[in-house]
Amino acid sequence: MTATAARADERIADVGVLRRLLVKPEFGALIGAVVIFVFFSIQSDVFRSPAGVANWLDGASTVGLMAVPVAMLMIGGHFDLSAGVQIGTAGLATGIMTTYWGLNVYASLVASLLLMLAIGFVNGYLVTRTGLPSFIITLGMFLGLQGINLGVTKQVTNTVQVSNLDLVPGYHLLKNILGSTVSVAGKPFQIAILWWVLFTALGSWALLKTRFGNWIFATGGDPNASKNVGVPTNRTTIALFMLTSAMAWFVGNTQIVRFGTIQAQVGIGQELIFIVAAVIGGCLLTGGYGSAIGASVGALIFGMTQQGIVYANWNSDWFKLFVGAMLLLAVLANQFVRRFAEQSRR
Amino acid sequence: MIRRTPRWLAAVLVPLLLVTACSSANSVNRPHNKAGGGSGGYKYKIAVVTHGGTGDSFWSIVKAGTQQAGKDMGDSVTYQSDGDPTKQSGLIDAAVNQKPDGLVVSMANPEALKAAVKRAVDAGIPVITINAGEAQSKSYGALTHIGSDETVAGQAVGTELKNQGVKNVICVVQEAGNVSLEQRCAGVKDKLGGTVTNLQVDNNNLPAAQSLILAKLQQDKSIDGVVTLGAQVATKAEAAIAGAGSSAKLATFDLNADVAKAVVDGKMLFAVDQQPFLQGYLAVVMLTQYKANLNVLGGGQPVLTGPTLITKDNAAAVLKLSAGGTR
């Protein structure tokens, strides 16, 4: 072994606090969130009032809960286009098993979880086994589940929705866990917001502090190299798909429990919103880079923008344009900050 | 690395699933009504091509109507739909190629379907238009039109809300670019005499629709009326009004079980029903009778299936039927 060179190694050089902040994937998104919050707060008093905050946090939480596993999957190098429609599958499964087949509500929850894990496993297994892009595999799953959701629902219920879960024994406990509100500053905040914070923390911990997290970054960064050093890339990928499906189970059941009813078309189109939130939050489309907290901040930006447009009393016909422009701006700002950070490191 | 399934998991799950399997208290939705009807022996082939979205509760009732009529008449009925006018036009051509005895078409975008409908008429197939496209129906060569006039329905809502003293209304539009929906809002505006603001939401993301309506109600406290254009959005609007602590009155177009329940409970003022089941059912029956007996109801005048108002007085009876997917 040669002696260590006398001059300082640039890899272990001391880095300033600002630079260390800047290279964090979620940093750009955080700034964006602050800017958007200030912007809409100036436009509307109600937006920054407790009632307003409760409202846009609610919208953000639905996106945010799913954005966390979707971001982890993206860091692992894959997409799940069926993530949105799986929300519907989970809720419909629980609803049909309970209100039509008479199964106990907790048993149906367990059964629908097993079903969702199986769907996630199929996604992951097909992707790892065939080596085809996850984009194509999950696109197939997306279309297939869309048909199953509608077909089964129509077959069983004669309509396109499953309702009346709120009449089932055991519903009230579930409602307390998944769909109740917590009073803060006299205003009702959805409990889903708490779940969102909890799952974001869990996801972030898993990514940054566990061996599984290391495997995710490695698998997404360079699958071949990872395989060569002994990372179980296939198992990691399958686990990530199953994680996404498990979260779809959680969100879908939150929805049917909260409203007592769920529609066959629920979640279609949402899969892209989850990916958008993850990308705003600093995930790279190529994998290997990103953060769970970032994805949640991305969801927060989306929630604030969506509701902010209404609070600002803008014409809602243009709504999608505003959202699109906001998202592009956020991503560009993100890109700029990251490039600046990477240059300043040299 | 393969691990065996932990035994304890199975030991917990299997009894849980078995013991709890069939308690009837849970199956609150098990259907108890089935529309009756005998079966005729006409044996015609009727093709139905609509613009309805596949997951839309309204169109699932229209479809149920066509199928029930098929059963009652002894016809074989096929149902296809696509919201994209180009694709719908393709579906019509495909149906015509199979030489049906009759064709039922809904024309949300009449211009785009003109050529395809004319091809059907030229091929000697009797055509009935339903739901949308009343103005063009006759000139394209259809026997008759069965539907409800959107503007008239909107005006009925506007009049009723005005009677209730409502002045500032938001009209919640759940599908961008659907002409009928815009006509409904315009109809409401005609007769209300107050302010009507349209609010755009997404039918595929109903929780977000609820938050958007809530946001609007929080922002503008003077809103005292909410009109929704579809039954699924209506129940979310109900929750939004409660969430905002607003006293706004709620009325909706179209009906489902949840809406009927809300009207019974007094949480919703009324629902306008254009009786979609009849649009599907009558179209098939009328084509059958035309084919068998050359009958045309009203000599080809448009047949109106609505608007009928579902209020507290009749909602309970309708609620029972709603669960079976026919109202």
Q: Tell me the residue range of the domain where B144 lies.
A: 45-148+275-295
Does residue A11 come out as left (phi exceeding 0), alpha (psi in the -120 to 50 range) or beta?
alpha
Query: B253 with B160, same domain?
Result: yes
Cα–Cα–Cα angle for B176, A37, A184, nearest 5°? 100
pTM over the 0.90 mark: no
What are the chain A neighbours of B323 within 8 Å (beta carbons)?
159
Interface of A with B in 304-333 (CB under 8 A): 306-307, 310-311, 313, 316-317, 319
Indicate whether A182 belongs to any domain: yes
User: Total domain count for chain B?
Assistant: 2
Using CB atoms, which residue from A62, A106, A158 is nearest to B207?
A62
Q: Residue B101 and residue A261: Cα distance in Å, rounded?
A: 40
A36 located within any domain:
yes
> Could you read off the pLDDT of B53-82 as tens digits, one per residue?
777 778 889 999 999 999 999 999 999 988
Chain A partners within 8 Å of B256 (Cβ): 159, 161
HEC profile of B167-208:
CEEEEEECCCCCHHHHHHHHHHHHHHCCEEEEEECCCCCHHH
Task: Tell if the CB–CB gap between A55 and B204 is shorter than 8 Å.
Answer: no
Is B87 inside any structural domain? yes
Contact predicate B317/B52, CB 8 Å: no
Q: What's residue B38's pLDDT?
A: 54
CATH number at residue A110: 1.10.3470
* B56 is a domain residue: yes
ipTM for the complex shown: 0.70
pLDDT digits (tens, 9 = 90+) for A127-158: 999 999 999 999 999 999 999 999 999 889 88
The answer to whether A59 contacts chain B (CB < 8 Å) is yes
The closest alpha carbon to B205, from A330, A339, A303, belongs to A303
Question: Residue B298 in contact with residue B247, Cβ under 8 Å?
Answer: no
Q: Which residue of A has its CA nearest to B237?
A: A259
Q: Could you tell me if B212 and B241 are in contact, meaning their C-beta atoms sit under 8 angstroms apart?
A: no
Residues B135 and B201 in one domain: no
**CB atoms near residue B158 (< 10 Å):** 27
CA distance A12 to B230: 62
Q: pLDDT digits over A229-266, tens only?
A: 999 999 999 999 999 999 999 999 999 998 888 888 88
Establish if A320 belongs to a structural domain.
yes
Q: What is the pLDDT of residues B260-310, one digit of tens each?
A: 889 999 999 999 998 999 999 999 999 999 999 899 988 889 999 988 889
Q: Which residues of B touch A98 (CB under 8 A)?
A: 26-27
d(CA A247, CA A185): 30
Residue A42 lies in a domain: yes
Instruction: Give residue-wise pLDDT tens across range B82-102.
Output: 888 888 998 999 899 889 999
Strand order in the sheet with B76-81: B76-81, B45-50, B102-106, B127-131, B144-147, B303-304
**Which of A100, A265, A268, A274 would you mutate first to test chain B, the one with the most B CBs within 10 A?**
A265
Tell if the CB–CB gap between A161 and B206 is shorter than 8 Å.
no
Rounded to an integer, what is the distance from CA B308 to the centroid of its chain?
A: 14
Query: Is there a single domain that holds both residue B49 and residue B184?
Result: no
> Is A44 in CB contact (< 8 Å) with chain B?
yes
Cross-chain CB nearest to A164 (options B29, B198, B325): B29
Q: Pick from A66, A161, A270, A323 the residue to mutate for testing the B interface (most B CBs within 10 Å).
A: A161
Alpha helices in chain A (DSSP H): 17-22, 27-43, 45-48, 50-75, 83-99, 105-130, 134-157, 171-174, 192-209, 211-221, 223-228, 233-259, 270-280, 292-311, 319-345
- The verdict on residue B305 lying in a domain is no
Are B261 and B282 contained in the same domain?
no
Q: Quick check: is B308 in a domain?
A: no
- B130 DSSP β-pair partners: B106, B146
Q: Which of A156, A158, A315 to mutate to test the interface with B (most CBs of B within 10 A)?
A: A158
Residue B172 confidence (pLDDT) above 90: yes
Indicate whether B113 belongs to any domain.
yes
Residues of A in contact with B232 (CB under 8 A): 161, 263
A100–B contact, CB cutoff 8 A: yes
With a cut of 70, say whether residue A342 has pLDDT above it. Answer: no
A108 lies in some domain: yes
From chain A residues 103-142, the ones with a CB under 8 A of any chain B CB are 103-107, 110-111
Domain span at residue A231 reads 27-335
CB A68 within 8 A of CB A296: yes
Q: Looking at the predicted structure, is the pLDDT value of residue A2 above 60?
A: no
Looking at the predicted structure, is the pLDDT value of residue A36 above 80?
Answer: yes
- How much of chain A, in percent, has pLDDT values that exceed 90? 54
Per-residue pLDDT tens digits for A294-329:
999 999 998 898 888 888 888 777 777 877 887 787
Assign residue B59 the CATH number of its domain: 3.40.50.2300
pLDDT the model gives residue B146: 94
